[in-house]
């Protein structure tokens, strides 16, 4: 479903309309602003893919009366009511009357976005033809998450290589998501219904990894009390993923090379050649070509595996991926811990974008877990970026400034510090963009790729 998410915004204060419209449009929503509730009501249709964000206190008609009218006109349409008066009885009554939620002004922008997305998820189920098919396979964008140019290039390469069935090397630092890419290569191939068998080659002795990969016959060595089928056989007709292949002992590399060349496997202690039809994906955090030049990795195995390669950049080289990945990890954490998604403050979003991420996406996932659980841990913690006056309420202007800084930072990260591209993406005149960068002390050169 490619329908735009439309927010019907109703408020009698033009300043509020303008501020919320700017914020929501920057987040990708379409906004239909109204200062006249009756005109807004007339715009609603039963098949409208929209939600209503409406002030409670308005002249001529109040939000509760309008809520009843909306329910009659478009049953099931989510309506979020806003009030700056802290009226708890009214909030309770609004929920009883069928409001989706009741928000108190001034609103935290990130909290509002979460509520809107939740409401749209419900609206999706209400409209015929818009409900998501639970049996539908995930798209490549859902499988490999990110908005950077490098991730988009990786996605396109995955789709290309998955159809060819060639052996592939994935290069990337620890925690960059090499197994995610390997899994995607399998899931988008003709082998998707067959086995995806993964093995980490690090930290195992030569005899253990040999048995794990090739299997062994009964009595082939001490403690071989029964026959064992190896990972290579298990992956027959599917995909074998060899993680940290740079750690594979040379003796095992020689045997693996034979499997790749002849597509047969021989169990340890056996003398029978077993045909195998597999695609091999190897992942390494080291430069295999350099290791092969040094004699630390067999050159013939490197060239046999390196039919194709995919390089995954560090997370700090693709900062625009941080926010979508973090949201994905928070969603997973909430499911895992059966928790509600916490509010992400603007200052925290900015902190996510500015952090160096030495642990890459693995570190980001851990931060998301701690964020959902509300606990501290070693290393970077979002709890440490909380403003000291959180308990005293939120200043709307300060929250908007923090939000704007985060949006500007993301745009500069996407464009690698290119003002012309950022100006176009944000739909801002260059002079306005320069003025905002100066206001927030943001240096465009900080977002340029550094050439070593």
pTM over 0.75: no
Contacts of 75 (CB under 8 A, 6+ apart): none
Q: What is the pLDDT of residue 397?
A: 56
Are 205 and 252 in contact by the 8 Å Cβ rule? The answer is no
Q: How many CA atoms lie within 13 A of 390 on its CB side?
A: 13
| Domains along the chain with CATH numbers | 6-126 (3.40.50.2300), 140-313 (3.40.50.300), 317-447 (no CATH)
Q: What is the pLDDT of residue 285?
A: 96
Q: What is the pLDDT of residue 245?
A: 97
Per-block average pLDDT, block size 10, for the chain (452 residues)? 77 87 80 89 83 86 86 88 70 79 76 82 66 60 89 95 96 95 94 89 89 84 76 93 96 95 92 94 96 95 96 93 90 83 77 88 91 75 52 50 76 84 82 83 74 42
Q: Which residue in 181, 152, 156 sits closest to 169, CA to CA?
A: 181
The token duo for 51 is 């939600």
Q: What is the pLDDT of residue 209?
A: 92
Q: What is the pLDDT of residue 128?
A: 55
Q: What is the pLDDT of residue 281?
A: 98
Are 403 and 364 in contact by the 8 Å Cβ rule? The answer is no
Chain centre distance of CA 412 = 19
Q: What is the pLDDT of residue 153?
A: 94
Q: Which residue in 295, 292, 372, 386 sits closest to 330, CA to CA?
A: 372
Are 88 and 61 in contact by the 8 Å Cβ rule? The answer is no
């Amino acid at each position: 479903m490619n329908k735009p998410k439309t927010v019907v915004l109703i408020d009698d204060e033009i300043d509020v309309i303008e501020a919320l419209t700017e914020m929501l449009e920057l987040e990708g929503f379409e906004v239909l602003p109204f200062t006249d509730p009756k005109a807004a009501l007339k715009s609603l249709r039963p098949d409208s893919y929209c939600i209503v964000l409406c002030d409670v206190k308005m002249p001529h008609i109040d939000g509760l009366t309008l809520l009843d009218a909306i329910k009659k006109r478009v049953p099931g349409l989510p309506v979020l009511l806003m009030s700056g008066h802290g009226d708890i009885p009214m909030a309770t009554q609004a929920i009883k009357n069928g409001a989706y939620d009741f928000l108190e002004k001034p609103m935290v922008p990130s909290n509002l976005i979460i509520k809107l997305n939740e409401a749209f998820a419900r609206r999706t189920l209400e409209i015929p033809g818009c409900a998501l098919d639970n049996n539908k396979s995930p798209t490549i964008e859902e499988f490999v998450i990110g908005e950077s140019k490098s991730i988009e290039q990786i996605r396109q390469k995955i789709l290309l290589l998955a159809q060819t069935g060639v052996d592939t090397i994935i290069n990337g630092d620890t925690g960059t998501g090499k197994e995610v890419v390997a899994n995607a290569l399998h899931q988008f191939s003709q082998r998707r219904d067959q086995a995806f068998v993964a093995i980490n080659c690090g930290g195992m002795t030569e005899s253990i990894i040999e048995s794990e990969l090739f299997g062994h016959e009964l009595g082939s060595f001490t403690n071989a009390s029964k026959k064992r089928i190896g990972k290579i056989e298990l992956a027959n007709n599917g995909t074998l993923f060899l993680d940290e292949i740079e750690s594979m002992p040379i003796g095992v590399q020689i045997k693996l090379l034979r499997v790749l060349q002849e597509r047969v496997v021989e169990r340890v202690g056996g003398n029978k050649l077993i045909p195998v039809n597999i695609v091999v994906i190897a992942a390494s955090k080291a430069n295999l070509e350099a290791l092969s030049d040094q004699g630390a990795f067999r050159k013939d195995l490197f060239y046999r595996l390196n039919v194709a390669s995919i390089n995954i950049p560090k997370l700090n080289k693709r900062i625009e991926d941080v926010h979508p990945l973090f949201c994905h990890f928070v969603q997973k954490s909430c499911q895992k811990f059966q928790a509600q998604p916490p509010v992400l403050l603007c200052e925290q979003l900015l902190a996510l974008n500015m952090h160096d991420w030495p642990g890459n996406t693995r570190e980001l996932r851990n931060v998301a877990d701690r964020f959902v659980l509300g606990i501290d841990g070693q290393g970077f913690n979002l709890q440490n970026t909380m403003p000291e006056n959180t308990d005293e309420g939120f200043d709307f202007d300060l929250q908007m400034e923090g939000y704007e800084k985060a949006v500007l930072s993301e745009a500069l990260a996407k464009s690698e510090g290119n003002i012309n591209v950022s100006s176009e993406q944000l739909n801002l005149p260059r002079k306005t963009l320069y003025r905002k960068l100066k206001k927030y002390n943001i240096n465009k050169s900080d977002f340029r790729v550094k050439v070593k």
